[in-house]
Amino acid sequence: MTGENILKLRKEKGLSQEELAEKMFVSRQTISLWETNQTFPTVENLIRLKEILGVSIDKIVCEEETKESKCNADSLDTVCAALAYAMGIEPPAHAAAKNAELANYIDKIFDGQKADRVLMYNPDAIAQWIYQKYPEYLANVKKHTDKEIYLSTVMPSVTPVCFGTMYTGAQPAVHGIQKYEKPVITIDTLFDRLIAAGKRVALITYGKCSLSKIYLERQMDYYHFNEGSIEAVNAKAMEVILRDEHDFIVIYNGNYDSVMHKNGPESAKALAELRLNDHVFAVISHLIKTHWKHPNTLVGFAMDHGCHEIDGGGSHGLDMPEDINVTHLYKGYAREA
Ligand SMILES: [Zn+2]
């Protein structure tokens, strides 16, 4: 609010109300009225205030909206080492320290043991604000998970950059993807650590999406389908879950992202795509619960970045809370061995 801003800026300048009033050619009472939001400075007074306080008019009249206060504290780069921790393997060489909250959850749910299996369901562009505003569209995801992790994704907030960070634990400058491009990542990844530990990895995606390109050239099972054929991706996902031959499974569903771009994040069409993600996640959770007999399984619903509305469509890639904030949801299944 303007009043609080004037008060704060005046104190930063070391001025009393009287001193500021004198410079402004107004009464001390007027300053007091401004600072308590009882009256508002005229345009002429704002221009003079800006000169005296040495700041922009924006700084005086805008709500204080600092990035720090609106973006989640933990970075997306902390997820990778936590997943390595879940599997009981070394984190990739450039990974940030493991997400403490997720690691604590893993310790608690598995009673200090490790996960035998991890399945990561990766939707695209489901922003934290969308998840919070439309919980009914993701009710099954909420029902089949019991841990929310609030994260700030990396910049620029576009798919290959963010998924590059999710599975290397490294910042974009380190993993090498710093814009919308899809080169094969050459630094150490979670998949390399899993393979080195003798684990079997499956990556089930569309053939042209970021996840199908940036982690190629590794000894793991790639199941890639034509762009947009989400049915084929999810049919293969169900099959892979039922076969139960992999230790770490990644499933990518980019349906919300593409519809969101065309129609807007809150359009009926985009929200319908959330229902699809919700349904697929419910089926996956059901299959894991009923068909996997391993002692410990960790399942994640983990998106890459958020989104915002623009000109009736949707977009992302900017350094703003709508694009940056995401909520990952996790569930650990611990069973009698
Ligand atoms: Zn997108």
> Can you name the residues that pair with 147 across neighbouring β-strands?
330
Question: What is the 270 CA–ligand 1 centroid distance (Å)?
Answer: 12
Exposure letters 283-292 (e unless 16+ CB within 10 A, then b): ebbebbeeeb
**pLDDT over 50 at 67, yes or no:** no
- The span from the first CA to the last CA of the chain, in angstroms, equals 58
One domain for residues 11 and 85: no
244 and 151 together in one domain: yes
CA–CA gap between residue 62 and residue 112 (Å, rounded)? 49
Across the range 141-154, mean pLDDT stands at 98
* pLDDT value of residue 335: 82
Residue 317 CA to ligand 1 centre (angstroms): 8
CA 67, 259, 134, 312 torsion-angle sign: positive
Indicate the average pLDDT of the chain: 94
The enclosing domain of 12 has a CATH number of 1.10.260.40
For ligand 1, the distance from its centroid to the CA atom of residue 211, given in whole angstroms, is 13
Residue range 156-208, pLDDT digits in tens: 999 999 999 999 999 999 999 999 999 999 999 999 999 999 999 999 998 88
What's the CATH code of the domain at 209?
3.40.720.10
Are residues 138 and 56 part of one domain? Answer: no
Task: Give the tens place of pLDDT for each residue, 97-108.
Answer: 999 999 999 999
Q: Is-contact 53 60, C-beta < 8 A?
A: yes
Check whether residue 181 and residue 197 sit in a common domain: yes
d(CA 337, CA 335): 6
Residues 60 and 73 placed together within one structural domain of the fold: no
Same domain, 95 and 17: no
Whether the model clears a pTM of 0.85, i.e. scores above it, the answer is no
* Structural domains of the chain, count: 2
Looking at residue 65, its pLDDT comes to 53
**Are 31 and 156 found together in one domain?**
no
Calculate how far, in angstroms, residue 298's C-alpha sits from the geometric centre of ligand 1. Answer: 27
Q: Which domain holds residue 49?
A: 2-64
Q: Tell how far the Cα of 74 is from the centroid of ligand 1, in angstroms.
A: 22
Q: Are residues 162 and 49 in the same domain?
A: no
Residue 48 and residue 146 share a domain? no
Does 87 share its domain with 48?
no
Tell me the pLDDT tens digit for each residue of 105-126.
Answer: 999 999 999 999 999 999 999 9
Ligand 1 centroid – CA 272 distance (Å): 17
- Judge if 96 and 238 occupy the same domain: yes
